[in-house]
C-alpha cells in the first residue's frame, strides 16, 4: 500500500481540517502520515525536524498544505521547504506524486500563488504534480467551488469551511493516493 505524507502548517486549525479531510480521502487506498509543522520545528528561523523529512523520503506521494499569508505560504512552511534543499540536491523526492491545498481570508485572496509555490517546490524536487480534475462550478456536489485546477483553494464562509471544500479535500486525497498506487 502506498504511503501518503500530508505536510502542513496550521495556526487557526483551518488548514489542519483540510489536512485531515485529505487524509480521510486517501485512507483506503493508502497509508497516511499526517506531518504537521509546529513552532517547535523552527529553531532560529530554520526548520529542524529530520524525522518529518525522513517520512517524506519514504512516502510515495506528498500533499503540501499551508494557509495563504500575504500572497504565499506561511513562513513556517517556507522554512520547511528551505530545509528540503539537501534532498533537492540528491533528488530524493523525484518521481513522487505531489499535490497542494491552501486557504485564505478571501475568495480571491492570492491562494493561487501559494499553490503555484507548492507546484514549483515539487518540480524542483522532480516530483509529479497532481491537480484537481473537477471543472470549477461544474460539479453537482459543489466540489472545487473556487475553480482552481492546480490544487485545492478555499476560504472561510461565515467563519467556517464549507462542506463542499472539505469534500474537495477528501477527493484530492483519494486522487493522490490512487495515482501513487498506480505510480508505484
| Confidence category of residue 175, pLDDT binned at 50, 70, 90 | very high
The per-residue pLDDT for range 49-92, each reduced to its tens digit, is 999 999 999 999 999 999 999 999 999 999 999 999 999 999 99
Mean pLDDT over residues 175-180, rounded?
93
The per-residue pLDDT for range 118-159, each reduced to its tens digit, is 999 999 999 999 999 998 888 998 999 999 999 999 999 988
CATH code at 3-183: 3.40.50.360
Mean pLDDT over residues 41-45, rounded?
93
* E strands, the chain, in order: 3-9, 31-37, 42-43, 46-47, 61-69, 72-73, 97-104, 128-129, 152-155
Mean pLDDT over residues 108-115, rounded?
90
Amino acid at each position: 500500500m502506498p504511503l501518503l505524507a500530508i505536510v502542513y502548517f496550521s495556526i487557526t486549525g483551518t488548514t489542519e481540517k483540510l489536512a485531515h479531510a485529505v487524509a480521510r480521502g486517501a485512507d483506503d487506498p493508502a497509508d497516511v502520515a499526517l506531518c504537521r509543522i509546529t513552532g517547535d520545528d523552527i529553531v532560529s528561523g530554520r526548520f529542524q525536524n529530520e524525522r518529518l523529512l525522513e517520512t517524506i523520503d519514504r512516502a510515495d506521494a506528498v500533499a503540501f498544505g499551508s494557509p495563504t499569508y500575504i500572497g504565499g505560504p506561511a513562513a513556517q512552511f517556507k522554512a520547511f521547504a528551505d530545509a528540503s534543499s539537501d534532498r533537492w540536491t540528491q533528488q530524493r523526492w523525484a518521481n513522487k506524486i505531489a499535490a497542494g491545498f491552501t486557504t485564505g481570508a478571501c475568495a480571491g485572496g492570492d491562494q493561487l500563488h501559494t499553490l503555484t509555490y507548492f507546484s514549483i517546490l515539487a518540480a524542483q524536487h522532480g516530483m509529479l504534480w497532481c491537480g484537481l480534475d473537477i471543472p470549477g462550478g461544474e460539479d453537482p456536489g459543489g466540489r472545487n467551488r473556487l475553480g482552481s485546477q492546480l490544487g485545492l483553494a478555499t476560504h472561510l464562509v461565515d467563519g467556517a469551511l464549507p462542506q463542499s471544500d472539505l469534500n474537495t479535500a477528501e477527493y484530492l486525497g483519494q486522487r493522490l493516493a490512487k495515482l501513487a498506487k498506480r505510480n508505484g
